[in-house]
Amino acid sequence: MSHQPSTGLWPALESLPTHAAVLVDWRRELGSEFVAARPFLRPAQAPARYYPCTHRPPCECQHRIIDDDPRHIVAVCHCDPPDCPPICLTPQDRLVLALDTRKLCEAIRAALRFQPATPGQYPGAVRSYRLGTYGPAQSPAILSFPAEEGDILAEVGGLCAAIPDPFILLTPTARHHTPAVEAALRRHGCLHFPLAQFVSLAAPGNLTASPEVKPILANFARPAQAGVSRIGQSGSVLQPSAFSLQASPRYSIRKGGGYWTITFDGQDAPKKHEKGLLYVAWLLTNPPKEPIHAMELVAKVPAIYRRQLGLTSMVDEATGKSVALDATAMPQERSHSLDDLEAALRLHKKQQQLEAVMDDDDASEPEKAEALAELVLLYEFQKKHAMRSKGNAEQLVRAVRAAITRLHDNLAKATYGKGQPHPVLRPFADHLAKYLLAPSARFTGRVGSRVRAGVAGRFTYEPPVGVQWTG
């Protein structure tokens, strides 16, 4: 599967569903494309009342802005109890920038060479905008901003009811292009067009389309020569089967930005990041031949981050030479039998801080790379100078087990729309219960039970026939 960037204009339009945020949020989500995308943002009338926590690691709340004194504006943590110091702000910091949909539509229309259309929205499609028309039949081109699969299905239903002929549906990314969405569009003879794959920022406020766009659009307008076809009200014969730009894998789990995309039995669903997903993702994509110990499973997490960051080496501060990072390096538990207990506690606290940075979706890649380098050094130090502690190992096993169990419980209760059971995440939870949790329970020690030495605290995944996960 091709790598999809986690920052940039198109991912930002899905990670910021209201399309209105303070400058620091836009900078984080747009990443290196902030300058080029800035012309598509306009100041909103009202200033922000809340501000994201910019501490590292951040707390769990949006800081409340206090501006009793215009010369001293602060954003105050309102966690219970407060977890971090206030953030001093300037009036510019609390300025809310909103997406200028009109400008963005004009830029997309120019890049794809669509004809102009009357701006506005269709009844029953509240997240979609008229973008333009294409071809001799003047097929409508619609820009939609779905927040989840349920949203895009509702939008497609509203658009199909309002537009009798086939149309082109453009979305920022292909994140929500599931088989259910594809089937709904196929029945109406429509083309789904993920902008992230074919349109990019060329200069501030300007977009450019890749050469692949022309044949795709031409194929949409060309009458079908064979296969299943649909005759629209305009009389044009179309071949919807030719409009699918990509085929979704049947089973996939991948991370991008602050969310994961889980494809289960051919259907996609987004899931907010949880630590348990890191462990589950490795087990699904690397079914172990033998049960893997919790300590070794935790060690896979830094390997995952190394692949994501492209960090395969680090500089040894002692020699100044570049040293390759061992992807199989295994962290060792710090023994509490060390003479200097105070030093051990400081080391443990530092490790927690670094791991919090690695788990923080808001942290930048350079910050994560720096934290990862320090963690590797810390793990290497522990491996050389510290002995394993039985109590610490048991604590680690409980932490990993709790993270996976908590993830399963959240998936089993997942809903969408108006509280309906989620059609993807709940079956995924059942799959984990049957093929990951149940087999792993055979190697998990229970309180008061006898556990075979060297086996307790291990995890495994036993996929059924025909199920193979990709990442």
The pLDDT assigned to 446 comes to 43
Same domain for 78 and 181, yes or no, is no
Domain boundary among 212, 242, 272: 242
Same domain for 318 and 451, yes or no, is yes
DSSP string, 383-446: HHH----HHHHHHHHHHHHHHHHHHHHHHHT-EETTTEEPTTHHHHHHHHIIIIIHHHHTTSPP
If you search the block for the tokens 């599931």, which residue do you land on? 178
Domain boundary among 70, 99, 128: 99
The dihedrals phi and psi of 150, each to the nearest 5 degrees, come to: -60, -35
pLDDT in tens, 10-60: 999 988 888 889 999 999 999 999 999 999 999 988 888 888 888 888 887
- Is 415 within a domain? yes
Same domain for 90 and 234, yes or no, is no
The segments of the chain whose pLDDT lies below 50 read 1-3, 223-247, 305-320, 322, 325-342, 387-390, 446-455
Domain count, the chain: 3
- Is 127 within a domain? yes
Same domain for 41 and 185, yes or no, is no
463 vs 400, 432, 471, CA distance in Å?
20, 9, 15
- Is 214 within a domain? yes
Same domain for 94 and 112, yes or no, is no
Q: Strand pairing partners for 170?
A: 143, 193
- Is 467 within a domain? no
Same domain for 266 and 349, yes or no, is yes
Same domain for 313 and 440, yes or no, is yes
- Is 249 within a domain? no
Side chain identity at 333, as an amino acid letter? E
The pLDDT assigned to 456 comes to 52
Domain boundary among 75, 99, 123: 99
pLDDT in tens, 63-90: 888 888 777 889 888 887 777 888 899 8
The pLDDT assigned to 284 comes to 93
Interatomic CA distance for residues 87 and 65, integer angstroms: 9
Give the number of other CB atoms < 10 A from CB of residue 126: 13
- Is 341 within a domain? yes
Same domain for 220 and 80, yes or no, is no
- Is 106 within a domain? yes
Segments forming the whole domain that contains residue 211: 101-242
Same domain for 94 and 111, yes or no, is no
The pLDDT assigned to 80 comes to 78
pLDDT in tens, 200-222: 998 899 999 988 888 888 888 76
The pLDDT assigned to 325 comes to 46
Same domain for 295 and 186, yes or no, is no
Same domain for 86 and 180, yes or no, is no
- Is 248 within a domain? no
Same domain for 64 and 209, yes or no, is no
